[in-house]
Chains A and B, each alone.
Chain A
Amino acid sequence: MISLNHKKRLPGSPHRSKRYYYVISSIVAFLALINMSAFKSESGSAGLSELLKPHFSKQDSMISKRAFLQVYKVLMSPRCMNCHPSGDIPLQGDDSHFHLQGVKRGHDGTGLYALKCGNCHQSHNLPGLHMPPGNPKWHLPPANMKMVFQGRTPHQLALQLLDKKRNGGRSIKALVDHITSDTLVLSGWTPADGLSKPPLTHKAFVNAFNEWIKHGAISPDPENK
């Protein structure tokens, strides 16, 4: 430890000078400022702390990060990720292979020409293995807001979800509404025959999402794969 007191004292003595406390508190304040600006630059112009102010009562980074890792498991399951691919081809099946028939995203996320989503996908699942699953709103995110899940780390995906420029322009409340009641999200839990459900129940997923938000919407550490 660096000694800030030039006066001689016994080793282990608890005595500290005023200068010691001044220097320590300056360092702490400086580090806090760096942390806040990093937060701001990562979350877009609004700044995360501002964005989240009305939504969390007690910031607890451990609880928040742990909750997001549960959310992440669901978002990266085939039922969610297959329609949030890194490229312009939707994914299919529990092995997330490229969609057959050469289907592509198109400008608005509903496909191209003779290969639009609604040409095969109906408003409901069709019975039988390998039959098209259905929803009235079946589509991918649009080309100008791809909202990619595939390949994102927990850290990257958490920051993306909170960034209006990358989350479909959604506020925190709109995000919660989306994952709670959007029928396209809910359809992940009523998959077509032969397809698996996400690893959590929808209720547990929503609870984990709310827990993440309530405790500060902290993104897991970058090294957390």
Chain B
Amino acid sequence: MPTIENTYSLYINRKETRVTVSPDMPILWLLRDVIGLTGTKFGCGMAQCGACTIHLDGEAVRSCVTSVSRAVGKEIITIEGLSPEGDHPLQHAWAEVNVPQCGYCQAGQLMSAAVLLRENPEPTDQDIDDAMSGNICRCGTYLRIRKAIHLAAAIQKSRAKQS
């Protein structure tokens, strides 16, 4: 059975991008194989691990199970677009605390953490657990992730005071 392809105009990392793909193609495939944004990683392919987390209209969706058709008229942000200048408080904190070990899951970790910090600028340890427990890290960097999120919250707060 032939695959029916449609042309979509999608907003990815603040740019309009036209693609011709099957409507049920997972966004992860689109990003990596069609557009070439390989920062978002394939982990389990069944929404279990969080490695493929991106933002769809600000929500931390699992791109391995979310189809392209769901993104029509919405904004996709990937790890490459988290901060146009690469200076998101989380990125600073991640580097400062030296969070990654192998690094494979870290794009997904950062995208989930970004939603937490936006909705809760001063998260407690419990809030961090509630937000991040769906992102699995085989290297076990969880303690450094927690530390970095607290640091990012402090950076965000201090920037808000300065502006």
Question: A: which residues have CB within 8 A of B?
Answer: 100-104, 112-116, 118-120, 122-123, 126, 128, 130-132
Q: Which residues of A contact B70 (CB under 8 A)?
A: 122-123
User: In residues 103-134 of chain B, which contact A (Cβ within 8 Å)?
Assistant: 111-113, 115-116, 119-120, 127, 129-134
The reply to whether A114 and B115 form a contact with Cβ atoms under 8 Å apart is yes
Chain B min CB distance to A120 (Å): 4
The reply to whether B62 and A114 form a contact with Cβ atoms under 8 Å apart is no
Q: Which stretch, B5-13, B45-53, B78-86, B155-163, touches the partner chain A?
A: B45-53
The reply to whether A114 and B65 form a contact with Cβ atoms under 8 Å apart is no
The reply to whether B62 and A119 form a contact with Cβ atoms under 8 Å apart is yes
Known pairs A119-B61, A126-B65; A113 contacts B120 (CB<8 A): yes
Contacting residue for A114 out of B48, B66, B67, B112, CB 8 A: B112
The reply to whether A101 and B61 form a contact with Cβ atoms under 8 Å apart is no
Known pairs A122-B67, A132-B65; A114 contacts B47 (CB<8 A): no
Chain B min CB distance to A35 (Å): 47
The reply to whether B130 and A113 form a contact with Cβ atoms under 8 Å apart is yes
Does B135 have its Cβ within 8 Å of any Cβ on chain A? yes
Q: Which residues of A contact B66 (CB under 8 A)?
A: 122
Which of chain B's residues has its CB closest to A128's CB? B46
The reply to whether B133 and A118 form a contact with Cβ atoms under 8 Å apart is no
15 A-B pairs within 8 Å (CB atoms) are namely: A101-B48, A101-B134, A102-B134, A113-B119, A114-B112, A114-B131, A115-B60, A115-B134, A118-B61, A119-B59, A119-B60, A119-B61, A120-B65, A126-B65, A128-B46
| Chain A to chain B: the 8 pairs with minimum beta-carbon distance, closest first | A102-B133, A101-B134, A113-B131, A114-B112, A114-B60, A120-B47, A113-B116, A114-B115
A168 to B66, alpha carbons, bound, how many Å? 31
Chain A min CB distance to B47 (Å): 4
Max chain B C-beta neighbours (<10 A), residue from A101, A104, A131, A132: A101
The reply to whether A131 and B134 form a contact with Cβ atoms under 8 Å apart is no
Which of chain A's residues has its CB closest to B67's CB? A122
Chain B min CB distance to A214 (Å): 42
